[in-house]
Amino acid sequence: MELNFRSDNESPAAPAIMAALQRANEGCAWAYAEDQWSERLDSAFSALFETRTTVLPVSTGTVANSIALATVTPPWGSVFCHRNAHILNDESGAPEFFGNGLRLVPIDGPDGKFTADDLGVAVRATAGHGIHSYQPAAVSLTQSTESGTVYRPDEIAAIAAAAEEPGMVRHMDGARFGNAVAALGCHPADITWRAGVQLLSFGASKNGCLAAEALLIFDDRVAADTAERLRKRSGHLLSKMRYVSAQLLAYLEQDLWLDMAGHANAQATRFAQAVDRHPEASLTYTVEANEVFVRWSPAGFRRLEAAGIQFLTWPGRDDLARFVFSHCTTPAETEALCNAFAEAGAG
């Protein structure tokens, strides 16, 4: 029997989400996000975040990020992000494509995060030649990060304040937003609009949904009409949007999204404890959400694979691997992983 810890992208949709899809499939409904489910999204998310929220349902996180950044960044503008950010490394230039040539500027920082000071240094280093330079337009934070860590509310607020001074819009890539909120035990507003975030790519597909994501706009100064036209022009205004919107509504109902994310986080913590006990392997980053990065010998990883454990060896590194836990990872599967990891022995 093989156990899959490669990615939460590879997990199935949750039963409650499939049930919501089945209900939405009964009869006809108006098209192009004018259905009863899509019409309820603004009020549902406004209630969740305790502020007026405009919601654009889409089918992928890449397009949510790209529309968000293209909405607020001119072609001569720059977007600052961490060097490991998904928008920089894993979206095939989509933000630049949507933004007609906008530039992504990487910032270094430990544990997948950068600070307000790091942002200030990067802005000053790249915008010192007036009209000859790209214009700083936005900053994008990943929550939880590509290293499985999370930004605290005060860290986000400090970065947002540093970005606001030169007039930069604040965006958050929340592909694993639920895992971050569950890890912090905070209100979702505390790490978004209350901390200065204006746009959120709200991820759901990694956490139990099926091709369901959303772009959330918290600030009326951000042109929602521009975002909607970009969604249509890029081919992402689905005719049968009800199937996306129905999932998002079910995802929020009775805090399903937080329950599933919290479960995934707990399984990751359990495995992290096993890594801590191992005589040879070690954790690369502090485990705060649902991803565990492990440094070990290539031989050890090969033995673990031979035992039927699937995981992702990090590109270009045969001594580093990522294990991801999802809403449907059972405690028994996590225990089997821990046992196989121990039995694989030292490399």
**What CATH number is given to the structural domain containing 260?**
3.90.1150.10
Residue finishing a domain among 254, 285, 302 = 254
- H/E segment holding residue 46: helix 41-49
Say whether pLDDT at 52 is over 90. yes
Judge if pTM exceeds 0.85: yes
Distance CA 169, CA 174 (A): 16
Q: Could you tell me if 240 and 275 lie in one domain?
A: no
Tokens of 330: 């059972």
**What CATH number is given to the structural domain containing 234?**
3.40.640.10
Residue 166: other Cβ atoms inside 10 A: 15
Distance CA 115, CA 109 (A): 8
Closest CA to 175 of 289, 269, 35, 333: 289
Which pLDDT belongs to residue 346?
54
pLDDT per position as a tens digit, 76-85: 999 999 999 9
Mean pLDDT of the chain: 96
Mean per-residue pLDDT, 291-315: 95
Q: Could you tell me if 164 and 303 lie in one domain?
A: no
Closest CA to 222 of 200, 198, 202: 198
Distance CA 74, CA 102 (A): 7
Beta bridge partners of 105: 80
Residue 190 gets which letter from DSSP?
Answer: G
Tokens of 163: 């970005």
Range of the domain at 339: 3-9+256-344
pLDDT per position as a tens digit, 130-157: 888 899 999 999 999 999 999 999 999 9
Residue 307: other Cβ atoms inside 10 A: 16
176 burial (CB, 10 Å; 0-12 / 13-18 / 19+) is: buried
Q: How many CA atoms lie within 13 A of 5 on its CB side?
A: 32
Residue finishing a domain among 254, 285, 317 = 254
> What is the tally of structural domains in the chain?
2
Dmax (CA) for the chain in angstroms is 61
Distance CA 72, CA 250 (A): 30
Which pLDDT belongs to residue 99?
96
Q: Could you tell me if 202 and 179 lie in one domain?
A: yes
Q: Could you tell me if 208 and 113 lie in one domain?
A: yes
